[in-house]
Structure formats: structure tokens, C-alpha cells
Amino acid sequence: MNVVRSRYRILYGDTDAMGIVYYANYLKWFEMGRNEWLRAQGLSYREMERDGTHAPVSQVYCRFRIPARFDDVIVVETQVEYVRRASIKFTYRILRETDGEELVRGYTVHAFVDGNGRIVRTPRRILERIRQLQEDPKSRG
């Protein structure tokens, strides 16, 4: 549903002594992906937080197929798999820009909580936007 693409060029600081990107760093680009997904919907994580709702990660899974290396440009493709009463699931594919090869694939599940960490309902603006996308997958807001 509504794939959003973001680009990033690998720094030396993202790599490790094996000469490839350290595995934990892909999770930062998953975050970049979901931030950009929200932005592309006219939503903003920053605004959601100002309204008192946070979406900490409750689960992450990641499958590493081909390593990215210094100076590679990667493309993160982000989608929403589902939105529930109080949670959301994003899926990600990270591709190498030069040849489109899929490097990494994964997902994150998030709970919605208030400022005190108590579970709250999925914000209405997200639900409405998802419904729009389901009715008209090409709509861009």
C-alpha cells in the first residue's frame, strides 16, 4: 500500500571491520523510511508527538541478503502492511540504487502510546489516511 522511497548514501561510519554496513544501522534507515512514508501522506511524526502520541517500536525483524558498502546509495522502500486499533506495521525493502538489487528486507511493529507510555488508539488522522489509500491506492493526499 503506497510505497514511499527514500535515498541515503552510506558513510564510512556506517560500515564495520568486515568492510560492510554494520547490521544495526539498517534499523536507522527503516526509521528514515517510515518518517518519509508519513511525510508523503501529509502526516508528520513530529506533529503526532506534539499532539501527545508516540509510536515506539515493539518488534523488529530484518533479513540481510547482500551487504551494502561504503559510498553505495541505498533506496528504502516503505509500506504500511496494516493498521490496527492501537498499532501499525511497516515493511521495508532496502535496494542498491545502481542495480536495484534487494539487500535487506524487514518490518517493524509499533504501539501507540501517550506521554506516560500508556497504550492509546491509533491516531484518527492515520486511520483516515490509510482508509483513503485503501479506497484509492493512487491517491497522494
- Tell me how far apart the alpha carbons of residues 19 and 89 are, in angstroms, rounded to a whole number: 32
Residue 22 engages its own copies in binding (rule: CB under 8 A): yes
Grid coordinates of 57: 517500536
Least Cβ distance, residue 92 to its own copies (angstroms): 13
51 catalytically annotated: no
Q: How far is the CB of 23 from its own copies (least distance, A)?
A: 5
Say whether residue 86 binds its own copies (CB under 8 A). Answer: no
Give, in degrees to the nearest 5, the angle at Cα 83 between 82 and 84: 120
Q: Characterise 117 by phi-psi region: left (phi > 0), alpha (psi -120 to 50), beta (else).
A: left
- d(CA 64, CA 83) in angstroms, rounded, equals 25
Is 51 a residue that touches its own copies (CB under 8 A)? Answer: no
Window contacting its own copies (CB under 8 A); options: 27-35, 78-86, 90-98, 123-131: 27-35
Task: Residue 95: count other Cβ atoms within 10 Å of its Cβ.
Answer: 20
Size of the site for its own copies (CB under 8 A): 37
Q: Which of 62, 75, 127, 133 binds its own copies (CB under 8 A)?
A: 62
C-alpha 95/C-alpha 42 separation (Å) is: 25
Min dist CB 109 to its own copies, Å, is: 9
- Known catalytic residues are 16
Sites of contact with its own copies (CB under 8 A):
9, 11-13, 15-20, 22-25, 27-28, 31-32, 35, 44-46, 54, 56-64, 67, 69-71, 117
